[in-house]
Amino acid sequence: MNKKIFLIAGTEDGRKLAKFLSEKNFDVTASVVSVYGRKLLENCAGVKINDKPLERDDLEKILREENFSFLVDASHPYAKNISANALAAAEDAKIFYVRYERAEVAFDYEKIFHVESYEEAALKSAELGKNIYLTTGSRSLKIFVDMLKDCNLTARILPTAEVLTQCEALGLTPKQIVAMQGPFSTELNIELFKHAGAEVIVTKNSGQIGGTDTKLEAARILSLPVVMINRPKIFYPNLAETFDDVLKAIRNA
């Protein structure tokens, strides 16, 4: 019987990893938390889907009761709570845990200002300009809206009804919302930044697949300061940056 993998797949590369491991003859269950994520996973033949939100205890229960051998954490690099819960659940269920995390983008630009939190990012961006362009996703929007009432915000978000409703509830106007799915080319980033009159770009180092490289290049070309929120610092007992590294870790477990 094939060994079972529970894979937390909240990203595009997480979904690709689920397909990759399934094609290596593992029994893969991929977990997502949105209808959109489920629709994307439905195209991955052979991959089972869990779309129920799982707290730490729920996750441990599934790992135990359904006899999973491995937990592969391919959640977003900034999903700190999800990773913390996954680590604890795997440890208590006594199964092998491996973290897949895409590589960061290394970029040499003197106008990148590193911070450790969304709150720090809000404070720093307000020091650097009035027109602030947010590319940090919808989950942190309330922090910026609450802290930057004297600034002009533009929020680039996913074009889903749920996220647009959230933006409306926060008081953002259509002019402040760019509802598009990335990643974007350098050229398109340049035009979007110029159109918004951006004076500061706020972003995260989500890796090349998240479009960090083209955002930074566009900012450099326009000579715009960038507030970069660093990834959360978590110790992972097994960390992989490629699909092959995940496969090797599982086979050697």
pLDDT for res 40:
67
pLDDT band at 1 (very low <50, low <70, confident <90, very high): very low
pLDDT for res 59:
95
Pseudo-torsion of CA 136, 139, 140, 142, nearest 10°? Answer: 130
pLDDT for res 41:
73
Residue range 4-102+234-252 in CATH 3.40.190.10: no
Q: For the chain, give the mean pLDDT.
A: 92
State how far the Cα of 215 lies from the Cα of 178, in Å rounded to an integer. Answer: 15
Question: How do the domains of the chain map onto residue ranges?
Answer: 4-102+234-252, 112-229
pLDDT in tens, 200-228: 999 999 888 788 999 999 999 999 999 99
Architecture in CATH for domain 112-229: 3-Layer(aba) Sandwich (3.40)
Whole-prediction pTM? 0.84
- Mean pLDDT score, 178-195: 95
pLDDT band at 164 (very low <50, low <70, confident <90, very high): very high
State how far the Cα of 73 lies from the Cα of 79, in Å rounded to an integer. Answer: 10
Quote the percentage of the chain above a pLDDT of 90: 75
- Closest Cα to residue 176, out of 198, 147, 161, 203? 198
- Number of helices (H) and strands (E), helices first, in the chain? 10, 12
pLDDT band at 99 (very low <50, low <70, confident <90, very high): very high
State how far the Cα of 14 lies from the Cα of 18, in Å rounded to an integer. Answer: 6
pLDDT in tens, 4-47: 999 998 788 888 999 999 999 999 999 987 666 667 677 777 88
- What 240-249 contacts at long range (C-beta under 8 Å, 24+ apart), as own/partner pairs, is 240/98, 240/99, 240/100, 240/101, 241/100, 241/101, 241/102, 241/103, 243/16, 243/17, 243/20, 243/21, 243/100, 245/100, 246/17, 246/21, 246/72, 246/98, 246/100, 247/20, 247/21, 247/24, 249/96, 249/98
pLDDT in tens, 70-87: 999 999 888 889 999 999
Of the two residues 9 and 144, the one the predictor is more confident about is 144
pLDDT in tens, 230-239: 999 889 999 9
